[in-house]
Chain A
Amino acid sequence: DAGVIQSPRHEVTEMGQEVTLRCKPISGHDYLFWYRQTMMRGLELLIYFNNNVPIDDSGMPEDRFSAKMPNASFSTLKIQPSEPRDSAVYFCASRGTSGGYEQYFGPGTRLTVT
């Protein structure tokens, strides 16, 4: 079975540019999470969706960040305009409703903003 798919795996961009990160959750999973990980702040939850609806976006750092989930198999996280302090690894994760609450992470997108 395919796991969570993220693209791109690496992104290098200049300050001020728009960045779009993409995620395809595991088929049948109805929760999707976006995280950011840095050495200084650890793994931070940015936003999560249930059945394509944003449930909690309290972790989104500021208005420059936005996330959408137009359907059950696709989500985007957009940063506009990007800043050097946005440099981090961004993970997408998904989980189902039945069984336990464990999450399955994608390989991440390593973002560098210069």
Chain B
Amino acid sequence: NAGVTQTPKFQVLKTGQSMTLQCAQDMNHEYMSWYRQDPGMGLRLIHYSVGAGITDQGEVPNGYNVSRSTTEDFPLRLLSAAPSQTSVYFCASRSPRGLSTDTQYFGPGTRLTVL
């Protein structure tokens, strides 16, 4: 199993550009989430999904879109990048509570800089 993969690892954007951060998992997990982590800060939830076709907003959704067309993939789209979106982005996946005693797995992260 590759686990949770994210691409790219690093990205530099100019203000106003758009891009998509990719996230994929091969563990057949229904739940997937996107977090951002700013220096010295904890994790803030951006969007999450409890299954294909179902997404919902987290704590800081503004400026981001998501979709979940398959169980495996959960891309995060930045619509018009702003310097405030400079951060490290983590994707995570897990099974629903009743189906697993396993943990939530995190991808390696994407380090995004917006100039």
Partners in one complex: no
